[in-house]
Amino acid sequence: MNHHSSGVRTSYKLAETVLQELRKQKAIDLTLEFRREDECLIIPITLSEEKTLSLLEELEGDFEVKSFTFTQKEELPKNLFEAVKEDIPLALHSNIPKAYDLIGDIVVVDISEEILDYKAKIGKALLSLFPSISSVYRKASAVTGETRIRELELLAGEEKCETVHQEHGIKIFTNVCKTYFSPRLGDEHKRVSDKVKNNEIVVDLFTGVGSFPLHITKKKEVTVFAVDINKIALSCLEKSMDLNKLKGKIAIIYGDCRHVVNSLLKADKIIMNLPGKAQEYLDVVCQIIKPEGIIYFYQFVPDDKPEEKIKQILEEKLREQNFSIKEIISFQKIRESAPREIHACLEVSVIPDST
């Protein structure tokens, strides 16, 4: 059945950006089918045309908001569980993934061993749930090695690894197969960037694809030194720098931070998002941090008294460098990283011990 409704016509290139903005406002009419014509996607909307134009006014690119003819959608599954429950035995329903990572137009899902036989059906279901998704991968290994990457297995869609992810208005070019990137850290990237002041010197020791530097330099007139040992990740950052209008400057440094960070450099703030290993690099931090400079120290800690545990790890390693915590500024629980374990951040100012 045909139905007249307001919609947004946009190029495929801009489609994912438009969809993300519309999803935030729950403005997509899920009862109607998307239309595709002349390399454009036409998205049915629930908001008025005036409100939609206001919502999208800051986007750069071609789109059009007006009335279109859409086809009424058949009743579709609302989530992954509904989409695959008929294909998976009842006894295994508790293993159906409740969450997955949506990175640009790629989905990455973790499937437990108990239901691996149904991985193809899960991949096909996820592809059908999201009209703008091109590829579905499953996590085929844990994150390993100094470049922090994991093996991925294509389950459905196009065999592609590169995509542009959007978070808080920042475009992040990433390669899901060759770099580490978690869309679950978007709020943390913004939280830290909001604390940076103009004209500060910031060092991101394990920058990956550069999410922290991009967030910081988008709005602040600062210099961020982005350090990483993964050359592909830094190549992604270079591409992201071209995709965003940045107020500040990003200086890319390739290599192990222990060997490439100049001890003459003095930083106001240092970001250490390498949980599990960050404490091994506090000697580097203490060489380049200004007195009373601020460290964002990330760690995996038990969910029982996590602030106490992360403080203990940091204090012990600082003591070895003849440094101390001057002030604990904030403690942040970021996400669950494993059963009874959290990914946490302790923000502190540090000072050298008097001799």
DSSP 8-state class, residue 109: E
| More confident site: 12 or 166 | 166
**pLDDT score at 338:** 81
C-beta separation of 205 from 261 below 8 A: yes
Beta bridge partners of 36: 41
Domains plus CATH for the chain? 2-71 (3.30.70.2580), 80-160 (3.30.300.110), 180-352 (3.40.50.150)
The two structure tokens encoding residue 290: 């200004």
Dihedral sign for Cα atoms in the order 307, 308, 313, 319: positive
Tell me which range, 64-73, 132-141, 212-221, 336-345, is most confidently predicted by mean pLDDT: 212-221
Q: Say how far apart CA 126 and CA 100 lie, in whole Å.
A: 10
Task: Count CB neighbours of 332 within 10 A.
Answer: 17
Q: Taking Cα atoms as reference points, which of 174, 187, 197, 97 lies closest to residue 139? A: 97
**Given a cut of 60, is residue 355 above it in pLDDT?**
no
Global pTM?
0.77
Structure tokens at 140: 């085929």
Q: Does residue 3 surpass a pLDDT of 90?
A: no
| pLDDT computed for residue 207 by the predictor | 96
**pLDDT-based confidence at 12, cuts 50/70/90?**
confident
Please report the pLDDT score of residue 24 as a whole number. Answer: 87
Give the phi and the psi of residue 54 in degrees, each rounded to 5.
Answer: -65, -40
pLDDT tens, residue by residue, 63-91? 889 999 998 877 667 889 988 999 999 99
Give first-to-last CA distance, the chain, whole Å: 81
Collapsed DSSP state (helix, strand, coil) of residue 73: coil
Q: pLDDT for 284-327, tens place per residue?
A: 999 999 999 999 999 999 989 999 999 999 999 999 999 999 99
Residue 228's pLDDT band (cuts 50, 70, 90): very high
